[in-house]
A = this chain, B = another copy of it.
Amino acid sequence: MEPDIVRKMSSPTPPKRFEGFNYTALKRFLFGEPFPTSKEHHERLDKIRALAVFASDPISSNAYATEAIMSILVLIGSAALSLTMPIALGIAALILLIVFSYTQTIMHYPGGGGAYIVARDNLGTLPSLLAGAALLTDYVLTVSVSVSAGVRAITSAFPAVHDYRVLLAVLAIGLITWANLRGIRESGTIFAFPTYAFVGGVALVIIIGLVRYFGLFGAAPLVSSAPPVAAGGQPVVSLAYTWLILRAFAAGCTALTGIEAISDGVQAFKKPEARNAAITMMVMGGMAMSLFIGITFLATHLHLVPRAEDSILSQMTRTVTGGGFLYYWVQAFTTLILILAANTGFQDFPRLGSFLARDGFLPRWIQNRGDRLVFNYGILLLAFVASVLVIIFRADEIKMLPLYALGVMISFTISQTSMAKLMSKVGQVPPGETVQTKATTIHYEAGWRWKQALSVIGAFTTGVVLLILIVTKFTHGAWIVILAVTLLIWGFRAIRGHYDRVAEALSTRNFSLDNVLDIADVVIIPMADVHRGTLRALKYACRLSNDVRAVSVITSEENKERFMRRWNRFPELTEHVKLVLIEYDFRDILEPLVAYIQHVNEVECPHQMTTIVVPEFVPSSIWAHFLHNQTANILRFRLRGYKDIVVIDVPYHL
């Protein structure tokens, strides 16, 4: 027969549910009307907006990266704070290297080249899973760290709310979650204003600061908030000293997070996508670097000292501007850009999760999209895990930072190793031809050797930094990340194994319908009592088979008499039915019932499907459920364990 094809393109109408509470209406109110699948389109971004979208994460790290370095160095002594600047310069160099390396990735994976995809294309499954696990943990941390830092920007301005920071952070996550479930996606306009307002505000503060610091244009020189460090000679260069400097460097590496996001989202750019993305990436890198160095310069030269209740950026802004309008501007947009940075976690995590789910490494439902075409489950999962982190760490992003940046450094290393591998392939393509890999198309490039060298240098450098991060941060929380990543990889493989076994078990290849079990003639209908509902079910059962057995568990003589009296009222139906009465001396009447069913299924009709007709009484209101035994539901649950039992629910509504 030819299939009937029905086309249903109209918006779905809410189904009627139990009266009184319309779940669908509430859902529509909270999250809006569903979008049709076909309406999905990526709004293409021009460079200005794209910069705003992608820069919010890396640029927002300026709110805390300098502080992260300083809060380690201050452990040596406030004299050591002068080392902040050299360390910041080293990190800035690293940003430069990574930006250049990633432009390569963008040019070669215009369809999207996140570390997971690039590694799977070049290095195989395990490295790609490592990259995937590392990035997932990092995206969770992006949310927890950014939201906590955003809340700190508020509590720095209004110290009175400091005690409520955990609550505020969780509420902020809830708000971002809600917005993302509604489907506020990479809509550049929302991002553009706060990002540029933050960049502009901080840049202005830096310029004013520098002008005042150097007394340019006749400005009154800034008075340092602390007296210059007593010149007590250089501290002794010891092992412990080197260790703390390495730790400070590792802490500053948080400034590197978020740089890789563009490589995943090349398709969001206007044509020529790859070129525009590469240019945007370079501008973004330049911006992030300048702000980072500017803030670090002022913070160290103004002799600021990290304090729990007032961030370095806030101290610096207050010192430079004296606490007026510009101060509140910078604080407000610091909060906003940090929350937007958290929002990028809500973009990246569900997307990467859906890739992993598509490949069977995460539960398949992670890739299900909701009414608004977003990955609802990925969003909710991220919100849950990030909230748990925020609660555990009491919304203190400085405590969370040792966990951060580790994942992104793993992904940098893997991604650039993959690119080095890809370049070998590029060098082997005969000129004029193209070769198709799993995820992209390559052709011969004359400069493949130096591009490969760049990737190797990048991979090596980030690899070394990764080692430094692991070693220095290990006892401060990095072990959590390593444990999480290990468990995630183990989980990915276990899930994939399960899906493979299921697919194997369900496969229709080499499958013959003869393998499907026969259906036994016997139909069993449990009947606690004879009433309109069970009679209806009995009539249904009699339609199915000539061997219908009504089974009733009898717990008292009175119970039996009443049953038989009612049973005999309907001879035209019951005379075709074999009645089995089980006299039972315990209260759990389902036990002998299940035992009887099991006996019929396994002994009387082995290797056949046995049918059970369950009369089910459906009360009119959801509250009335509390007034009735849930026998039908419990029976269905108990029968789930039996392979060859088919359960038929015959409902009876009042």
Contacts and interface: CB of A to CB of B under 8 A. Distances in A.
A160 B293 CA distance: 58
Interface in A57-90: none
Given A368-B587, A539-B513, A629-B365, A532 B519 contact: no
B627 A38 contact: no
Given A3-B580, A578-B4, A628-B364, A371 B506 contact: no
A1 B8 CA distance: 52
B506 A519 contact: no
B587 A37 contact: yes
A7 B569 CA distance: 25
A531 B517 contact: no
Contact of A502 (B506, B555, B640, B654): B654
Interface majority SS (helix, strand, loop, mixed), chain A: mixed
Given A498-B627, A506-B532, A585-B38, A618 B640 contact: yes
A577 interface: yes
A592 B618 CA distance: 24
Contacts of A21: none
A399 interface: no
Interface stretch (A10-18, A107-115, A182-190, A199-207): A10-18
A573 B627 contact: no
A612 to B, nearest CB: 10
Interface string A279-322: 00000000000000000000000000000000000000000000
Contacts of A617: 506
A230 interface: no
A586 interface: yes
A517 B540 CA distance: 9
22 contacts: A1-B574, A3-B579, A8-B582, A11-B586, A15-B594, A34-B587, A34-B588, A363-B628, A371-B587, A373-B587, A498-B627, A507-B532, A511-B532, A515-B532, A517-B536, A540-B609, A544-B544, A636-B649, A640-B651, A645-B651, A646-B651, A647-B648
* 6 smallest beta-carbon distances between A and B, as pairs: A506-B531, A3-B579, A36-B585, A12-B591, A643-B653, A4-B580
Given A8-B585, A13-B591, A365-B628, 12 more contacts: A4-B581, A7-B582, A9-B584, A37-B555, A37-B556, A364-B627, A501-B654, A506-B652, A508-B531, A508-B532, A643-B653, A647-B648
